[in-house]
Amino acid sequence: MTKEHILRNKFNKTFDGKVGPKVLTVSHRGEDGQTERDIESRGLPYGSTVKVVCADCNNGWMNDLENEVESDLLRLIGGQYLEFTPEQRNTLARWTTKTALMRQFQNDPSVQLQPHSPVFQAAMSGHPTGSWTYAAPIYWTEHPWMRSVRIRTVATTAGGSDLDMLLTTIQVRRLLLQSVVSLDDVTAQYVDATLAPLTFPRFARVHPTGDPIDWARTPVLNAQEFFSASEKFAQVLMDDMDSPLKPFFDSDMR
């Protein structure tokens, strides 16, 4: 097993080292069976590594994937608006999912998913198998943000059974990437039903076909529209108080 960077140090250089530590929220099952929340400072994703990657993955498809998206990501972070082909969008969705999982491994080592496993590689290659659901909208925002990176992870439980959903938001100045990964049938069905009526934020699914993502042009968002979109997504998941899917966001939405 080798170590894999969550985000390349090159992204840190974009901020001149001015990005401070972040507070993340992670949920887990308590002794009484109830879901509890731990809030801890996990530090920066820049330069952080997780030792869960096989050498062939690290030096192979993962490295290739990073190289494919790096120049576009840096341009998006710098404020350029780029139009992507369906194939390029699919590549960005794969990178977002891979990055979300790497961060999740750092936050919660109990997640039983190995990036060198066949299902992980199949998902990352654009041919997901099993109960996987991906969503990765890309927003170009009007203004850079004070908190340049915002990442949230979710693990939920209901009825005595674990529901495996990872919701990760990565905000790097003007670039916002969101990834939803469902690791079981029940969660996947619920996430699909929840996301189905949403037209904004704009979501696109890779599972089950693995076909390239054909998104319409995403509008430029001003600050108010950005917060409205983020809060709408959170509210849709939280409206049903009897829902088994309870995302735990850090309290600082703004």
Percent with pLDDT over 90 in the chain: 0
Structure token digits, residue 128:
């997901």
Q: Is the pLDDT of residue 55 over 80?
A: no
* 66 has pLDDT over 80: yes
The answer as to whether 247 is a domain residue is no
Contact 160, 146 (CB under 8 A): no
**Domain-embedded: residue 254:** no
Assigned domain for 244 exists: no
Cβ burial, residue 2 (10 Å; 0-12/13-18/19+): middle
For 234-244, write each residue's pLDDT tens digit.
Answer: 444 444 333 33
Q: Structural domain tally of the chain? A: 1
> Does 24 reside within a domain?
yes
Rounded CA separation 142/127 (Å): 34
User: Per-residue pLDDT for 217 more than 50?
Assistant: no
pLDDT value for 57? 72
47 is a domain residue: yes
> Within a domain: residue 155?
yes
Q: What CA–CA distance (Å, rounded) separates 41 from 34?
A: 23
In angstroms, how far is the first alpha carbon of the chain from the final one? 38
What is the rounded average pLDDT for all residues in the chain?
A: 53
Q: Write down the pLDDT at residue 46.
A: 60
236 in Cβ contact with 12 (< 8 Å): no
119 in any annotated domain:
yes
**3-class state of residue 201 by DSSP:** coil
Q: Which residue range(s) make up the domain with 152?
A: 2-238
Question: Which amino acid, one-letter code, is at 196?
Answer: A
pLDDT of residue 147: 36
Is residue 228 one of the residues assigned to a domain? yes
With 80 as the cut, is the pLDDT of residue 71 above it?
A: yes
